[in-house]
Amino acid sequence: MSKARVLVGTRKGAFILTSDGKREKWEVSEPHFGGWEIYHVKGSPADPNRLYASQTSGWFGQIIQRSDDGGKTWQTPDGGPELKPGEMPKGESNKFVYDTSAKPLTTHQWYDGTQHPWEFKRVWHLEPSLNDPDTVYAGVEDAAIFKSTNGGKNWQELPGLRGHGTGPKWQPGAGGMCLHTILIDPSNPERMFIAISSAGAFRTDDGGKTWKPINQGLKSEYIPDPTAEIGHCVHRIALHRSRPNVLFMQKHWDVMRSDNAGDSWHEVSGNLPTDFGFVIDVHAHEPETVYVIPIKSDSLHYPPDGKLRVYRSRTGGNEWEALTKGLPQSDCYVNVLREAMAVDRLDSCGIYFGTTGGQVYASADGGDSWNAIVRDLPAVLSVEVQTLP
Residues shown for the chain? 389
Interstrand relation of 107-110 and 115-117 (parallel, antiparallel or unpaired): antiparallel
If one counts every other C-beta atom within 10 angstroms of the C-beta of residue 276, the result is 23
Quote the pLDDT of residue 90. Answer: 42
Interstrand relation of 155-157 and 83-84 (parallel, antiparallel or unpaired): parallel
Edge-to-edge strands, sheet with 310-313? 277-282, 290-294, 310-313, 321-323
In terms of DSSP H, where are the helices of 43-97? none
Q: Enumerate residues 6+ apart whose C-beta is below 8 A from 281.
A: 238, 290, 291, 341, 342, 343, 351
Quote the pLDDT of residue 117. Answer: 65
Quote the pLDDT of residue 365. Answer: 96
Quote the pLDDT of residue 119. Answer: 80
Tell me the pLDDT of the chain (389 aa) as tens digits: 689 999 999 999 999 999 998 899 999 999 999 999 999 999 999 999 999 999 998 787 889 999 999 999 999 876 444 554 454 444 333 233 333 333 333 333 333 344 456 788 899 999 999 999 999 999 999 999 999 999 998 899 998 998 888 887 888 888 889 999 999 999 999 999 999 998 999 999 999 999 999 999 999 998 889 999 999 999 999 999 999 999 999 999 999 999 999 999 999 999 999 999 999 999 999 999 999 999 999 999 999 999 999 999 999 999 999 999 999 999 999 999 999 999 999 999 999 999 999 999 999 999 999 999 999 999 999 999 999 98
